[in-house]
Structure 1
Amino acid sequence: MASPAFEEIAETFEFLDDWEDRYRHVIELGKAFAPMDEALKVPATKVQGCASQVWIQPVIEGGRFDFQGDSDAMIVKGLIAVLHALYAGLTLAEVARVDAPAELARLGLTDHLSSQRSNGLRAMVERIRKVAAEAAA
């Protein structure tokens, strides 16, 4: 149930043989991701459980989920961009049905991230799912 944007990332990962190239691609995704307004980087938007500073601000319009996000670490900002490709534009019900671990496993991220980064990625997914569930209720 991946979006076209996420499928594009998955296809790019298939072509990149070396993990250094894949990391560079994730960092490039982060550099291309729109910066979050500094005024939104507050405790309420901060994601707990991440080694880096991470902020996610949900945007729900017309029953569709989107979010702004940022991090002080480039690789993590790239992971935020990957999650944005996975979730942005979905309905709140669709967000709940996304099997994020399976989708991210397609990229091989779970095998190549440090345990701290993996925990942070899980925390971001949990935050996204929680916000969408609360908005749907």
Structure 2
Amino acid sequence: MSLPADAEQALAAFGQCPGWEQRARLLMQWGERLPALSDEERCEANRVHGCESQVWLVAAQRDQCWQFRASSDARLLRGLLALLLARVNGLTGAELSEIDLADWFAQLGLARQLSPSRSNGLNAVLQRMGELTRQPST
């Protein structure tokens, strides 16, 4: 499966970071690029459960492909969400179900920095994305 353009850009950018401090800085920058969710979107219905931090996820489908927007109250998590969205936006539901989150963050050189709780939280976000793509569209 080929990577979306944003994912290619992320791999190139993180591949140039020699160490964790540079990756952490880049991670924060990616998080700042996330478009803000409106107050209406930051509601209980859009909240992802299973995350220690508050995370909200909004999905929209266009021509069989999914576009997600997400936000969090945690800076580092916003960066991780931005990278997750770079990897999954534009995929079909079937392609989304094949995403290996651990492998994606390993390719970015961030696997060692994912604590079990962060990893569980990101998996909860991915799981919620899968649920949203399987719901009948309204």
Q: TM-score, normalised by structure 1?
A: 0.90
Deviation at 1:135, TM superposition (A): 4.8
Give 1:122's aligned amino acid: N
State the partner residue of 2:53: 52
Mapping for residues 1-137 of structure 1, pairs under 5 Å: 1=1, 2-135=3-136
* Structure 1 consecutive aligned stretches of length 4 or more whose deviation exceeds 4 Å: none
Counterparts of 1:115 and 1:95 in 2: how far apart (Å)? 22
SS at match of 1:101: helix
Residue deviations 1:27-78, cap 9 Å, x none?
1011111111111111111111111110001111221101111011111111
Native 8 Å contact 2:48 2:125 kept in 1: yes
C-alpha distance in 2, partners of 1:21/1:85? 19
* TM-score of the pair, normalised by structure 2: 0.89
**If each structure's helix is expressed as a fraction of its own residues, which one has the higher value?**
1
Gaps of 5+ in 1: none
Structure 2 unaligned runs (5+)?
A: none
Q: Aligned pair count?
A: 136
Percent of paired sites with the same residue: 32
